[in-house]
Amino acid sequence: MDTEKLKKYWKSEEQLAHIHGWDFSHIDGRYIQQNPPWDYKKIIFSYLKTDDMLLDIDTGGGEFLLSLNHSHCLTSATEGYSPNVELCKKILIPLGINFKESSDYSNIPFENNKFNIVINRHGNYDISEIYRVLKPNGIFITQQVGEDNDREFVKLLMPNEKKKFNGANLYTQKQLFIKNGFSILQSSEAFCPMKFYDIGALIWFAKIIEWEFPNFSVDTCFKQLLKAQALLNKNGFISGTAHRYLIVAKKSV
């Protein structure tokens, strides 16, 4: 194994690690992740009516929101990540979607009782704020990344990194929604297999998912990356798990 050549390649992947919207096409074919057993979009369509006021929190670049084809004049969105904010301003606002820049989950920038449906995929949320902006009998639909997401990869590359986001699991979150005036209409949890076939792709991934791999770099984690490469050489892949959970909650009157 030529470690110098590996390091040069790995650092090139590290330098390429940036994201446009929520686009992982750079590592297509170099990793696989099994989808959860539910269809988030179909679940939204099962509740969303044509005349509903819809809010998407943490919309990313608006890609998923636009795929719903909901009436633009009835659609609102928030996003706080600067590169995605610029995308939303260029794409969503000209369509007539009510977009507002915001990363303050404790203060959603919309009035009380405004929305029939609020959706949130893999973004943060404040349950009391969700309750505030929903109309009576309004529905919150969220697919979330759980606390055990990517833990095998984190332990491999950064063995001293403690688990974050404790409480991000289906049981805990369901109890919080119930305590805050919601009834649970649907819920599910899944641990989906993931495999990386290229350590360079894992490096790119770790740099993008900086909240799970804080201060990760090829230089500081080089010994662990060599161990990961040895495992890949032996097995043909590095395996881990994506943790997801789904909640559909209805605001009590």
CA torsion through residues 166, 168, 173, 174, sign: negative
Amino acid letter for position 38? W
- State CA 40 to chain mean position distance: 13
CA distances from 15 to 11, 153, 202, 207, 208 (A): 6, 20, 13, 9, 11
CA distances from 89 to 55, 68, 101, 109, 221 (A): 16, 19, 9, 16, 37
CA distances from 206 to 109, 124, 142, 151, 162 (A): 32, 20, 24, 12, 15
- Residue 9: the pLDDT is 93
- Residue 1: the pLDDT is 62
**Per-residue model confidence as pLDDT tens digits over 116-162:** 999 999 999 999 999 999 999 999 999 999 999 999 999 999 999 99
Q: What are φ and ψ of residue 22, in 5° steps?
A: -135, 65
According to DSSP, residue 104 is labeled: -
Lookup: tokens for 176: 């919080």
- Residue 164: the pLDDT is 87
Confidence of residue 82 (pLDDT cuts 50, 70, 90): confident
**Per-residue model confidence as pLDDT tens digits over 175-188:** 999 999 999 999 99
**Per-residue model confidence as pLDDT tens digits over 233-242:** 999 999 999 9
When pLDDT is averaged across residues 64-83 and rounded to a whole number, the result is 95
Q: What is the SS3 assignment for 226? A: helix
Confidence of residue 170 (pLDDT cuts 50, 70, 90): very high
The answer, yes or no, to whether residue 78 has pLDDT greater than 70, is yes
According to DSSP, residue 141 is labeled: E
Residues 6+ apart with CB under 8 A from 88: 59, 61, 62, 77, 79, 99, 101
- Residue 21: the pLDDT is 55
